[in-house]
Amino acid sequence: MGKEKEIVVSGIRSTGILHLGNYFGAIRNYIRMQEEFNCYFFVADWHSLTTHPDPKALRGNVFRVLAENIASGLDPEKVILYVQSDIPEIAELYLMLNMMAYKGELEKVPTFKDKVRQNPDNVNAGLLTYPVLMSADILIHRGLKVPVGKDQEQHLEMSRNFAQRFNNRYGYLFPEPVPFNFGDDLIRIMSLDGNGKMSKSENQNATIYLNDTDDAIRNKIKKAKTDSGPQAPNSEKPDYIANLFTIMRLVSTPDTVRHFEDAFNNCSIRYGDMKKQLAEDMAAFIRPIREKAEAIEHDAAYLNRIMRMGAEKARESAAATLREARKLMGINFY
């Protein structure tokens, strides 16, 4: 018998068009992991209700996330690709874990505080308990590795706490999940104006989306924040310049990156040239994903088939975990 494959779980909220941060923080690793691991990837439609409760937009957004994952190279025959709301077991585990999550620790989460600042009129309990639902998403499959961007690091620490509390109180059931980026630091792509991270719903003019046209990409990169250049050799890069280099490293050749690194270090860099090169490399990178995603997102019959297939497999795993959780908690009366 071969060694059992490790279980991987990760999700993306259906709140709009995916962007470079989603791609390099999450999807790129999904694709790299699909051969070696037992992967559960899902569209987090329940999570989207905390900030985007528009019923008319939901179906299109869910289809879009599925299509963009598949267009990026995810193979629904190799991974279990599903929609969160198709798995009611997640909601039951969420309820159980809520009994182990404390108001104080939830209120301290920086992403919660950010959302409160952005939407002071909609501070709902779903927003507060986002890390609990996220933990249920992972623990329902007894997931171990979680490919995510840096912004999710703290949520995962909470997932480990909830897993530990459950195990201590009721008996061992859950491994403690860890963030995963093939041994490298987790990725954070800042927005091009230097204000916060690239995001589906904030900073839209300074975020590069997987459906941006070549011209839109050129325009956005042209407007990216820079300055008059380094004043001394081998200076430290300001964060918005470091971000441009981070992005360049993801889509340009190593020679190109080295050329501009050298130019930065000897103070000869012209940011206009760097942006032009970056824009062309970025457009070439996004183009095939955009074109494929457009075709897939309108193929409702195909996407419905994928969703059904994924839901069936994900429910099997979820139901098995929930049976164990109920037994350990004493919820087995018949």
Which of 78, 145, 197, 237 is labelled catalytic?
A: 197
For ligand AQP, the closer CB: 198 or 269:
198
* H/E run at residue 219: helix 214-222
Query: Is 149 marked within a binding site?
Result: yes
What token pair was written down for 256?
């190109």
In the list 7, 25, 64, 177, the residue contacting ligand AQP (rule: CB under 6 A) is 25
* H/E run at residue 291: helix 271-297
Q: Is 225 a catalytic residue?
A: no
Q: What distances in angstroms separate CA 247 from CA 113, 221, 299, one per listed residue?
A: 27, 11, 32
Q: Does 44 bind ligand AQP (CB under 6 A)?
A: yes
Q: Is 223 a catalytic residue?
A: no
Query: Is 200 marked within a binding site?
Result: yes
Q: Which of the stretches 77-85, 149-157, 271-279, 296-304 binds ligand AQP when contact is defined by CB under 6 A?
A: 149-157
Q: Where are the alpha helices (DSSP H) in 51-200?
A: 55-72, 88-98, 103-107, 110-118, 125-128, 130-139, 153-170
146 bridge partner residues: 179
Q: Does 201 bind ligand AQP (CB under 6 A)?
A: yes
Query: Is 228 marked within a binding site?
Result: no
Residue 221 neighbours by CB under 8 Å, 6+ apart: 192, 208, 275, 278, 279, 282
CA dihedral over 188, 189, 195, 201, signed as positive or negative: negative
Q: Is 200 a catalytic residue?
A: yes
For ligand AQP, the closer CB: 10 or 325:
10
Q: Does 74 bind ligand AQP (CB under 6 A)?
A: no
Task: Report the catalytic residues.
Answer: 115, 197, 200
Binding stretches for ligand AQP (CB under 6 A): 12-13, 15, 21-22, 25-26, 44, 148-149, 151-152, 187-189, 197-202
Binding residues: 13-15, 21-22, 137, 149-151, 189, 197-201
